[in-house]
Amino acid sequence: MTNKLCLGTAKIGMPDYGYSDGNVLKDPTNFILSSLDLGIRSIDTSPRYGNSEKLIGKALKLCNKKPLINTKIDNLTPNLSKTPELMLNSINDSIHKLGASIDICYLHQNEIDIISDKYVHEGIELLKNSNLIKEVGTSVYSKEELMYTLDCGIFDWVQIPVNILDTSFYHVVSKHDSQIKVSARSVFLQGVILNDQWVRTSIEEHNELLNTLNIVRKLCSNFSITIQQLSVAYLSSLDRINQIIIGTISDDKLRDNIYSTKIQLDKQLTSAIDGISSTSKSWTNPRGWKL
């Protein structure tokens, strides 16, 4: 099974990001270098993630390995004629901080009026023609945003939320005739799957979420696998997923995630997770959470 893991760096640049254990990375440079030594071949970042681009750039200067780099463009306004110039400046700034070329450029804003904007499309063409980026994608939260991305023919990648609780977006992509490449994010539902202590105060439909998690935990117990291992192994088995973004700042957890990509799941367990995750659930969308 191919290792599809991509190191997500939101927590590297923003220690308080997500529902995690609250640990702070003491040596980001060493951790990034260690991740490359462990076999990580792609890194996902964004100007929105604090100083993560600078930290990645610092690490890359110390090694001879060039991972595939994803970064994003943010702070765009619909129907603004100078958008291509702003996009050009954003990418040049990211390249300067990273000290590396950009392989995939995502639009960090996912609203329809941004991803369908004619000036944004002109900016994409400018960046590609200038050889500043190789491919471009969207990072979506709604089915409307996903369908536009699949139908318009402009984007090479789509970043979608997909995890063992909700694979509904994945199934939309799988049934579509687009050849777009898929990057999976929210693999652990921003940490909720691994640590649910904040759920009751943050998610209105927390009872349904917790009940579903309990069902999955029982399955994990029955099949002698951790919920973290199941999360990664299951997504690794999905054919249409090209990249799985894992946000961690722990060498041990990273090793476990890489190991998990090699786990062959029991067919009964896979079938059970298929049944649980295939339906869309409103409580898996962080837009509705009280953060």
We report the CATH number of the domain holding residue 50 as 3.20.20.100
**8 A C-beta contact, residue 3 and residue 39:** yes
* Residue that has been written with the tokens 């110390």 in this structure: 62
24-55 per-position pLDDT tens digit: 778 999 999 999 999 999 999 999 999 999 99
> What is the domain extent for residue 57?
5-288
What is the spatial distance between Cα 281 and Cα 51, in angstroms, rounded to a whole number?
A: 33
The residues that bridge with 104 in the sheet, in sequence order, are 70, 135
Q: Which residues of the chain have pLDDT under 50?
A: 1
Name the token pair of 207.
């009872």
pLDDT at residue number 1: 46
With CA atoms as reference, report the closest residue to 95 among 61, 66, 133, 62.
133
- What's the number of domains the chain is made of? 1
Q: In this structure, how many other beta carbons lie within 10 angstroms of the beta carbon of residue 223?
A: 13
Give the C-alpha distances (Å, rounded to integers) separating 223 from 157, 195, 234: 34, 20, 13
